[in-house]
Amino acid sequence: MSKQVENSSHNEAFRDSLSTVKADGERNWVYPKKVKGFFYKWRTYLSWLLLGFLFAGPFLTIGGKTFLLLNIFERRFVIFGQVFWPQDTHILLFLLLILILFIILFTVVFGRVFCGWACPQTLFMEMVFRKIEYWIEGDANQQRKLNAMSWNREKILKKGAKMVIFVLISLLIAHLVMAYLIGVEKTFQTISGPPTDNVTGFVGLMAFTGIFLFVFTWFREQVCTVVCPYGRLQGVLLDTNSINVSYDYVRGEPRGKIKKHTVEESPKGDCIDCTLCVQVCPTGIDIRNGVQMECVNCTACIDACDEVMLKVDRPTGLIRYASENSIKEGHQKLLTPRVMGYSLVLLLLIGAFIGLLVTRTALSATITRFRGMTYQERTDGQISNLYEVTFINKTFGPQNVQVRAVDERYSIEATGEGNWEMEGQSKLEGRFFLVMDAQAVAQINEKVKLQLLQNGEVIDEIETNFMAPLPKKND
């Protein structure tokens, strides 16, 4: 039987269960062995860079403006210094579509490389919390022993120290998330006063801290294997040309113990079945079973296997970044029709997004009649309607804004006579009356055109309704 056929007839029973759940439903705690090697070294360097960037993010500015703010409460987002207001939802939707398509395209070609190298969950879990755990409790076997032993001085000290550090880091991450949501200044305001001054902020911080502590102390790899929707999508995104962390079964099988510098009668494959690749896996899977949804492409098994291969004098790369087809047929195909199709749609979306961004108005306004009110009849024989106006200044500079009726029968009554000064990147909410002589009323519900002026220049025209009683006929 050829090696390929052997692999295709491989027992697929492993797909029926999760490596982290025992047959009786109990959690199968994963104790990944410490790993070292080329990929781990570069992942560590990259993690320093990305974590540094993540923590610096809320403080970064572009031309004096926040670099990134995701204020979901006020639906105000600042991305690379560009402010997006609720009125820009359609542009944000495009941005979201582009992001989703980019992720799909990237995944189709490069698999879950993001999960292993750049996802904040992996960065914090593997490069922060796990390292602290190794430092305090030791490698996998020592951790197993510590967990199995009864509570004594050593266990209390080690577990206590770890928990204190984990709580502090979770608190720090919670503050970071808050800074991304409401901005650095408001976060400092929230934490500088007593909790009673800002109960919502305090509760939010505690809730985030609790969630992070739960995730990084207990839930761990299950975020990737059970919860993360991106992980669940792998089944439909990946195909046989996608590059993943893969085991070269053509070279590796039949697996079995081999001795260095020996030629056996029936030669075995290069896999010596040492299971080190399984022992280092943070999601507890055996990559030799093939591509699995639980694999976050962390490369730990590559490093572990390369070290083994060097020891047994075989070429490294038995586990490597490769597609199923490249292992089976020996060549890698990157530009498939699927990739080209996605790329084309992505380019179109990017073009449309740039177009929307360039043509979006610098100033926007919404005008609505005051709810629950019809009209007011004044003693001087005039009729008025009350309106609410919201201006959004998307520019970085101050602006003068004004509302004016096109029809000269109407006049505007407001603070400053419908003439407002706005700060850059700000929102202004105001009210004004539209006033008309009762004798000039032609209909009980009349369409009225209002002009929006920016620094004295008309930039938009908004239509609204004016309600009035029909004029009384003079005898």
Task: Report the interface residues with ligand SF4, using CB under 6 A.
Answer: 245, 247, 252, 271-277, 280-283, 285, 287-288, 295-301, 304-305, 308, 318-319
Contact 376/404 with Cβ under 8 angstroms?
Answer: no
Tell me if the bond preceding 267 is cis, omega within 30° of 0. no
| Phi, psi (rounded to 5 degrees) for 27 | -70, 130
Cβ closest to ligand SF4, residue 288 vs residue 394: 288
Contact 235/223 with Cβ under 8 angstroms?
Answer: no
The identity of residue 165, as a single letter, is I
Fill in the DSSP letter of residue 423: -
Identify which of 13, 4, 3 has the alpha carbon closest to the alpha carbon of residue 289. Answer: 13
Cβ closest to ligand SF4, residue 307 vs residue 437: 307
In angstroms, the CA 428 to CA 422 distance is 7
The two structure tokens encoding residue 365: 């306004």
What is the nearest approach in angstroms of ligand SF4 to the Cβ of residue 47? 15
What is the nearest approach in angstroms of ligand SF4 to the Cβ of residue 246? 9
What is the nearest approach in angstroms of ligand SF4 to the Cβ of residue 135? 21
In angstroms, the CA 162 to CA 385 distance is 65
In angstroms, the CA 270 to CA 251 distance is 6
Q: Is the sign of the CA dihedral 119, 121, 125, 127 positive or negative?
A: positive
| Phi, psi (rounded to 5 degrees) for 452 | -105, 125
Fill in the DSSP letter of residue 285: -
What is the nearest approach in angstroms of ligand SF4 to the Cβ of residue 116? 6
Contact 343/271 with Cβ under 8 angstroms?
Answer: no
Cβ closest to ligand SF4, residue 69 vs residue 285: 285
In angstroms, the CA 288 to CA 231 distance is 19
DSSP string of 169-187? HHHHHHHHHHHHHH-HHHH
What is the nearest approach in angstroms of ligand SF4 to the Cβ of residue 314? 9
What is the nearest approach in angstroms of ligand SF4 to the Cβ of residue 143? 17
Cβ closest to ligand SF4, residue 273 vs residue 388: 273
In angstroms, the CA 134 to CA 156 distance is 16
* Residue found by looking up tokens 């320093």 in the block: 48
* Residue found by looking up tokens 């399984």 in the block: 278
Identify which of 141, 130, 108, 167 has the alpha carbon closest to the alpha carbon of residue 335. Answer: 108
Cβ closest to ligand SF4, residue 271 vs residue 365: 271
Cβ closest to ligand SF4, residue 179 vs residue 298: 298
What is the nearest approach in angstroms of ligand SF4 to the Cβ of residue 1? 20
What is the nearest approach in angstroms of ligand SF4 to the Cβ of residue 355? 40
The two structure tokens encoding residue 372: 């629950």
Cβ closest to ligand SF4, residue 300 vs residue 322: 300
Cβ closest to ligand SF4, residue 293 vs residue 363: 293
What is the nearest approach in angstroms of ligand SF4 to the Cβ of residue 259? 14
Cβ closest to ligand SF4, residue 178 vs residue 301: 301
Residue 417: how many CB atoms within 10 A of its CB? 13
Cβ closest to ligand SF4, residue 29 vs residue 59: 29
What is the nearest approach in angstroms of ligand SF4 to the Cβ of residue 170? 24
What is the nearest approach in angstroms of ligand SF4 to the Cβ of residue 222? 13
Distances (CA, A) of 121 to 115, 214, 226, 230, 344: 8, 13, 13, 13, 31
Cβ closest to ligand SF4, residue 255 vs residue 360: 255
Which residues sit opposite 432 in a β-bridge?
387
